[in-house]
Copies of this chain bind each other. A is one copy, B any other.
Amino acid sequence: MFKVVVLGSGNVAHHLISVFKSTEGIDLVQVYARHPEALAKLLPGEKITSKISDLAMADLYIIAVSDGAINEIIPHLPFTERLVAHTSGSMPLQKDNGQRNGVFYPLQTFSKNKTIDFKSAPICLEAENEQDFVILKQLADAVSDNVYQIDSVQRRALHVAAVFCNNFTNHLYTVGSEICKENKIPFDILKPLIQETTDKIMYLSPLQAQTGPAIRGDETTINAHLDFLKDDTMKSIYELLTQSIQKAHVTELQRIDEQHYHIYF
C-alpha cells in the first residue's frame, strides 16, 4: 500500500482526500488540519490531527495549503529526508529545506460542492530526483489518466495560461450575464453557445475556431457594439480583445506566409 499524508483542509485538500480514500492501493494514513472540524464529514476523527508534531510515517506528504502557507508549514515538519510535495501552480519546487521535494499539481478548478472526474484532471509532477519522480508518478497514475512532467518554469507558464482560460473566460461570462440582466434576457439563452465554443476547441485550434466581427474586420458591427456598451470597463475590454484578435491573426498570417516562403523559394 502506498501511504500518503495530506496537509490542508481547503478545496484541493478536500478533493485529494476524497479521491485517495476511494482509490485502491492508496492508504490515506492521516490528514493534518489546523481546523479539523472542516474535515469531520470526510474522515474519522482518529485520522485527523491538528498537531504537526504528531505526523505519522508515510511514503509521501502532500502540502495542499495556500501558496503563502507552504513555506510556513515545511520548517515545522517533525522529520527530514522524506518526500514532501506541494500542490501549487505558482510556487517553484522547494529546495535546501532538509526534505526530498516534489510538486503534485492537479490542474483543475475545484469547488467544494461539486465532485469532479479526477481521472480526467491533468496532474503535473516535478521532483528533485528521479526516484522521487517515479514515486509521485505511481500515485498520480493511480488517480488520473493525464499525468505530465512539468518543470517549475513550465508550471508558472501553465498557471498563467490557466488564468486566461479559466478565470478570465469565466469573468467574460459574468460580463455577458450582466448585459443580459440589464436587458431582461435570460442568461440561459447563451449557454448552448458557450457549450459549443468549448466543444469546438476540443478538435480545432482556438486560432482556427475564431469567429465574430473582430476577425471579419467588420467595423460597422464593432462600432455599433462599442456604441451600445455604456460601462467604461466593458468598453475597454471590448476594444482591447478586438485589437488582440486582429493582431493574433495578422501574426498567424505572417507565420503562414513565412512558411510558404521557406517551402517555395
Contacts and interface: CB of A to CB of B under 8 A. Distances in A.
A56 interface: no
B167 A212 contact: yes
Contacts of A68: 220
A77 interface: no
Interface residues of A, number: 92
B156 A228 contact: yes
A234 B234 CA distance: 17
Given A166-B211, A180-B158, A200-B114, A150 B185 contact: yes
A171 interface: yes
Contacts of A134: none
Interface of A: 67-68, 90, 107-109, 111, 114, 116, 120-122, 124, 146, 148, 150, 153-154, 156-180, 182-187, 189-198, 200-202, 204-207, 209-215, 218, 220-221, 224-225, 228-229, 233-234, 236-238, 240-241, 243-245, 247-248
30 contacts: A90-B221, A108-B196, A109-B193, A109-B197, A109-B211, A116-B196, A120-B192, A122-B189, A146-B192, A148-B186, A154-B185, A158-B179, A158-B183, A159-B221, A160-B179, A162-B190, A163-B238, A164-B172, A165-B190, A165-B197, A167-B213, A169-B169, A170-B197, A170-B210, A171-B245, A171-B248, A191-B201, A195-B198, A233-B240, A233-B243
